Amino acid sequence: MKTYMEKKETVNRNWYVIDAEGLPIGRVATKAANILRGKHKVTYTPHIDCGDYVIIVNADKVKLTGNKLNDKVYYNHSGYPGGLRERTAKEMLENYPVEMVERAVKGMIPHNRLGRSTVKKLFVYAGPDHKHSAQKPVSITID
């Protein structure tokens, strides 16, 4: 029996919606990262972008367990001296929920050329509405 290797020309992509309301951010991010990479498919090939599109809605209603709301800190640096900016998870959830979920998913995808092309298939929205209804996305539930 020969091993099947997917080609980028033969990749069949689907659209999925994940409702993040009341779910832990890590559970949502791992499910989204696996779908983006294509690891849920039988035809998964590590060196080909064979993943599907993922839409995450209700990012502002995501849940953080433990004391992460106050203890977890997100860092940004402008590249200039004294340009370090720190934000707690509470500030991020209140002001930038989309960026918070995007960062969680991006951290679970390889940090290389393939990962950068993979993460472009991720769409995160703070509210329950999204603009991809024409693609007929399939809803996914997370246990």
- Asked whether the predicted pLDDT for residue 42 surpasses 90, the reply is yes
Residue 34 is predicted with a pLDDT of 97
The CATH number linked to 127 is 3.90.1180.10
Nearest-Å Rg of the Cα atoms of the chain is 17
Residue 104 falls inside a structural domain: yes
Alpha-carbon distance 24 to 109, whole Å?
18
Question: Residue 65 pLDDT more than 90?
Answer: yes
- Per-residue pLDDT, 82: 97
Task: Determine the structural domain holding residue 120 and report its residue range.
Answer: 15-64+95-140
Question: How does pLDDT run across 71-109, given as a tens digit for each residue?
Answer: 999 999 999 999 999 999 999 999 999 999 999 999 999
Let me know if residue 107 belongs to a domain: yes
CB 43 within 8 A of CB 50: yes
pLDDT > 90? residue 4: no
pLDDT at res. 50: 94
Q: How many domains does the chain have?
A: 1
pTM (two decimals): 0.94
SS3 22: coil
Going across the sheet that includes 53-57, the strands are: 122-124, 53-57, 15-19, 138-140
Residue 8 lies in a domain: no
What pLDDT score does 41 carry? 94
Res 31: pLDDT? 98
